Structure 1
């Protein structure tokens, strides 16, 4: 058989792949249906489309590819060798599309859907497990994809669509492209070695630790920004000996006598350190929930968002 191909159908090997995919994609399911039945009329009936529409789609598909996919005998067709090669990949592609559709529908299911939830390392041992336990009391089949990271990294994943919601601290709560709601405030403590000269104290003005060596989180972490800001308000710049990525590691460094640190309360008291209440300046971190502005929620995400907002003032354990 001979086709009259338009100039659009002549494509060099270096042609734009995205363009050819855009042309082919709407016709792939039609092609698979005709190939399966080897009969245009029967395929049109099964797919509930006009026979003329199906016939034109197959002709245009062959024109766009520049290859004969079918040998035609009236309304009966059979695949050419090129058609059989093409069908193998088309069936695989359609199966992947079907699988992807099933996955996104499952993730959006109000009862069994998924929430991609990010949070700070310091909230992972107690706060987040308790939140999820309480939420699942009313939503027992909702699934969670959990990510622990620091604030800026979670914002990147939020913007990339990899997270639905995340728990952050200031200043990341103030990012311009997110919606954030403050949920609770956590007091920070000055943590010192158990044999430190200040260990017998219950309270301290932070200025009294101006000459101490500090261990802190790395730049980019919210707690590091808070430490720098609170020390500046107390009139000094901390002398930093070690920088880490996780608060409990810092607590271990303090216990080893390598410095002092401003940290939130531990989930379980740690031996080898003393934890002092800071009376001045105010040493706290605000915890809030954030999501990307303008992004629609699936039902399970909306339900978990409502739950988190209902915990305002009661997010953190006493």
Structure 2
């Protein structure tokens, strides 16, 4: 093969079909990059045992197919076929190679079918992230309403706190997310959809429990139970307490709002939380009159990522719910 070294070159994504037949130095490329363009050719010839029939099936020139097979054998350093005039048969090495090639091509075909199905306008998939506190009522109601007009669209649902969801979105695992605070980053597009009032949650035997309204400063001496620092609601709690003139004394930190309500019911502190889906015994929820205790809810997506039709349709649906998201 020394006389062929000058004709070898690296395969590129822009190679034309005839380039597939040219020899490549395996030391200069990974094996997948070298072999991948030729695997479908090899499998077709192995199946038909005839170059002419395989070329017709693949709709490529017979000469291109023949060169690709020869170069494939040269790069591997083994004979994959025994030639018998116009027909071919697999050698033992060819049969071994074919088994793996068929598995690889099958995986590629299944992957292609999956991504095409996910992009189907009528029955595609939306990977949607949202805050834990929106999982019991808000998100199920949104999806139910959306599916009235799009009954076959599928959802992959992920719950988490804001920063974690944004990282999942950047990693390609989410298409959209409902989060708070509304993020601001160069790689994101975010739109405010609604706001949610926060309440001061106290034990039912607390000194403030007989009240309906309270200024947050009246809880300055209380122990607080809060979400952990990465959570958006924790940052909002700290900011509101700062506006009220104090720094909260944090007794317990958690990852889920209803767990915090349980801690409050046990008399372990007070908390600033959004309204619950269901009334929780053992606690009283007070309206905070000052400062204005709300959190903004927004939808975010990556600025430069193409979106499939079902994702685009669901995003339009969410934006159309502005001001009515939590209704």
Corresponding position: 1:34 with 2:45: yes
Matches within 5 A, 1:171-186: 173-186=183-196
Decide whether the 8 Å contact of 2:187 with 2:304 is kept in 1.
no
Corresponding position: 1:288 with 2:295: no
Corresponding position: 1:311 with 2:307: no
Corresponding position: 1:48 with 2:56: no
2:266 aligned residue: 256
Corresponding position: 1:220 with 2:236: no
2:18 aligned residue: none
Decide whether the 8 Å contact of 1:120 with 1:148 is kept in 2.
yes
Match of 1:149 among 156, 160, 166: 160
Q: CA deviation at 1:79?
A: 1.0
Matches within 5 A, 1:182-261: 182-261=192-271
In 1, distance between residues paired with 2:285 and 2:49? 78
Corresponding position: 1:164 with 2:175: yes
Match of 1:298 among 308, 312, 321: 308
Match of 2:109 among 98, 105, 115: 98
2:124 aligned residue: 113
Q: CA deviation at 1:256?
A: 0.8
Decide whether the 8 Å contact of 1:3 with 1:63 is kept in 2.
no
Q: CA deviation at 1:75?
A: 2.1
In 2, distance between residues paired with 1:190 and 1:219? 19
2:275 aligned residue: 265
Match of 2:149 among 138, 161, 184: 138
Q: CA deviation at 1:85?
A: 0.5
Structure 2: runs of 5+ lacking an equivalent: 9-23
In 1, distance between residues paired with 2:90 and 2:195? 68
SS of 1:174's partner is: coil
In 2, distance between residues paired with 1:127 and 1:4? 70
Q: CA deviation at 1:76?
A: 1.3
1:127 aligned residue: 138
1:60 aligned residue: 71
SS of 1:175's partner is: coil
Decide whether the 8 Å contact of 1:178 with 1:292 is kept in 2.
yes
1:141-181 Cα shifts (integer Å, max 9, x gaps) = 100000001111101110010000000111x5223321100
2:30 aligned residue: 19
Decide whether the 8 Å contact of 1:187 with 1:283 is kept in 2.
yes
SS of 1:173's partner is: coil
In 2, distance between residues paired with 1:142 and 1:314? 22
In 2, distance between residues paired with 1:70 and 1:10? 21
In 2, distance between residues paired with 1:175 and 1:195? 44
Q: Provide the TM-score with structure 1 as the length reference.
A: 0.94
Q: Provide the TM-score with structure 2 as the length reference.
A: 0.92
In 2, distance between residues paired with 1:174 and 1:10? 48
Structure 1: runs of 5+ lacking an equivalent: none
1:125-154 Cα shifts (integer Å, max 9, x gaps) = 000000000000000110000000111110
Moved more, 61-70 or 141-150: 61-70
Q: CA deviation at 1:6?
A: 3.5
